[in-house]
Copies of this chain bind each other. A is one copy, B any other.
C-alpha cells in the first residue's frame, strides 16, 4: 500500500527536477522559491521564474494541504454537508509562458486526493497551447503523450485525449484553448486498476513533461518573429486568461475556497491584450491556427 507521504515526497522531487531542467534549457532564468502555509493545515512552495532567455513567466507549484474538508469540497464530492471529514490533497501544477510566440504555452498538473473515509484518487493532465499551431509540433506532442499512455493502458490515451478536448474548451468563443493533450480525474483503485498502477501512471505523466516541453523550447526559441506575431501572442494570452478565469474548475474552486490566490493565478500570463471583434485575415497563419482550435482532431497519427 502506497502511503500519501510517499506520493507527496515524489511530487516534491518532481518539482525540483522540473525546475532544474527548465533552468538548464532556458540558460538564464532562475526559479525563486516562495514557501507558504495554509491556515487550516499544510502549505506549499511556489517556484516562479521570470524574464529568462526563453521563459518570460513560468510557475511550478507544489502543495500538500490537509485538515477538515471545507463545505465546498464536500459539496463538490457529493458528500454530506457538515460531516466531519478530513482530507489530504497534494499536487504539482505548472504553466509556462515563453517570450517567443513560436514557442507554445504549456500546462501540466498531477494531483492526489484522499478523504479519511478511505476514498482516494489521482488526477491531472498536460495540454499545449501554441500561439501558432504547427502540424509537426502538434503531432510530436500528442505522439509523446500517446506513447507514454499506451505503456500503462490502451484505454488511457483515447479516453484522456477526449477528456482534454472537452475540458480545455472556451465555450463562449467556441474554440479549444490549444491543441489539447490529456486530462483525467478520479482515477481510483477500481475496474482492475490497482492504486499502484495509477501512481505509476501519474509518475509517467509527471516525468513526460520535461523532455516533451524542452524539445519544443529548443526547437522553436531561435525562430524569428515579427511585431504582428507578438501582438497575436498577446491576444492568444487573453484567451488563456478567459479560459482560466471563466471555465477552469480548479481555478474557480481555489478562488471560491480561499485558496492561495497568488499560487492559483500564477497561471496568468505576464501580459495579455483584448481587441474588440478581432478578425484574422483570410488564409493568414492566424486564421489557420483558429481553424485548428477545435475538438476531435486526431494528432497522434
For residue A258, give the distance in angstroms from its CB to the closest CB of chain B: 8
A277 close to B34 (CB less than 8 A) = yes
**A246 to B251 Cα, complex, angstroms:** 10
Interface string of A263-280 (1 = CB under 8 A from B): 011101111111111000
**A252 to B256 Cα, complex, angstroms:** 15
A276 close to B50 (CB less than 8 A) = yes
**A261 to B271 Cα, complex, angstroms:** 21
B271 close to A273 (CB less than 8 A) = yes
Stretch of A122-130, A147-155, A180-188, A237-245 that contacts chain B:
A237-245
A269 close to B274 (CB less than 8 A) = yes
A131: B residues at CB distance < 8 A: none
Closest to A36 in B: B277
Interface residues of A in 20-72 (CB under 8 A from B): 34, 46, 48, 50, 57, 59
A276 close to B241 (CB less than 8 A) = no
Closest to A269 in B: B274
Residues A276 and B246 in contact in the complex (CB < 8 Å), given A261-B173, A268-B238, A271-B234:
no
B273 close to A270 (CB less than 8 A) = yes
Residues A241 and B245 in contact in the complex (CB < 8 Å), given A255-B172, A270-B274, A270-B275:
yes
A234: B residues at CB distance < 8 A: 271
B172 close to A261 (CB less than 8 A) = yes
A273: B residues at CB distance < 8 A: 270-272
Taking the complex as formed, is A171 at the interface, i.e. its CB lies under 8 A from any CB of chain B? yes
For residue A107, give the distance in angstroms from its CB to the closest CB of chain B: 16
Taking the complex as formed, is A281 at the interface, i.e. its CB lies under 8 A from any CB of chain B? no
Task: Please tell me which one of the listed residues B48, B50, B276 contacts residue A266 in the complex, with CB atoms under 8 A apart.
Answer: B276
User: Could you jot down 5 A-B contacts, CB within 8 Å?
Assistant: A34-B276, A172-B255, A238-B268, A242-B265, A246-B255
Contacts from A to B (Cβ < 8 Å): 34, 46, 48, 50, 57, 59, 171-173, 234, 238, 241-242, 245-246, 252, 255, 258, 261-262, 264-266, 268-277
> What are the 9 closest A-B residue pairs judged by CB atoms, nearest first?
A245-B245, A172-B255, A268-B274, A271-B273, A48-B276, A172-B261, A262-B277, A245-B246, A272-B272
